[in-house]
Amino acid sequence: MINDFEIERREMVKNQIIARGIKDNSVINAMLNIPRHLFVSDKFIVNAYSDMALPTTDGQTISQPYMVAVMTELLELKKDCKVLEIGTGSGYQTAILASLSKEVFTIERIKTLSEKAQTTLSSLGYKNIYYIVGDGTLGHKENAPYDRIIVTAGAPEVPLPLKEQLADKGILIAPVGSRYSQQLIKIIKQGDKFIDKYSTGCVFVPLLGEYGWKD
């Protein structure tokens, strides 16, 4: 019988997600249902449910499951949300977002990663995801404003175009800090004001682009 990793997935959610304080049942259920092992390369499949980020290709990573859960919980997603994601990567976070919202626009600067994520997500039946290859620090004006924006690479500061493309009462989550360590920032837009809150420390690969790191 093919191992569908259900036991590993349940253990991951119990020991890494619920035990560390994630309470949002919709996030917990999404992580129980989405087959993370399909988003990692064959070489790392035995570690698909381990408590760590894993290498993908081109020096990039699939984020640690707990970090995916924290960021998703902070986003407070609702079924009618239009979401912008910067950094498609493997597409695992995209799958979680797409299962909890109306539609997801996801931008990745590396074409091969975007194409691979698209293949995986299409094979799982997702029809509410739109893929863009390019510099996500510029956002995606064509479909703005977005109810939620999530940046999954470490930024020196929150890119201005992303703040401009956030809807009123919208929420943006991004890891912000130095190149080697960041803190999650949650921004809530209220009229013409932005309210900033800081959450947990984290380490992400750099957000490269016009409003990110330069190389």
The residues binding ligand SAM (CB under 6 A) are 60-63, 86-87, 89-90, 92-93, 107-110, 113, 135-137, 152-153, 204-205, 207-209, 212
Q: Name the minimum Å distance from CB 68 to ligand SAM.
A: 6
CB atoms within 10 A of CB 178: 10
**Four-CA torsion 86, 50, 71, 182, nearest 10 degrees:** -80
Nearer to ligand SAM, 89 or 170 (CB): 89
Q: Name the minimum Å distance from CB 48 to ligand SAM.
A: 12
Q: Name the minimum Å distance from CB 132 to ligand SAM.
A: 9
Select which of 41, 50, 63, 122 is catalytic: 63
Nearer to ligand SAM, 61 or 187 (CB): 61
Any catalytic annotation for residue 50? no
CA separation for the pair 94, 107 (Å, rounded): 10
Nearer to ligand SAM, 43 or 193 (CB): 43
Among all residues, which ones are annotated catalytic? 63
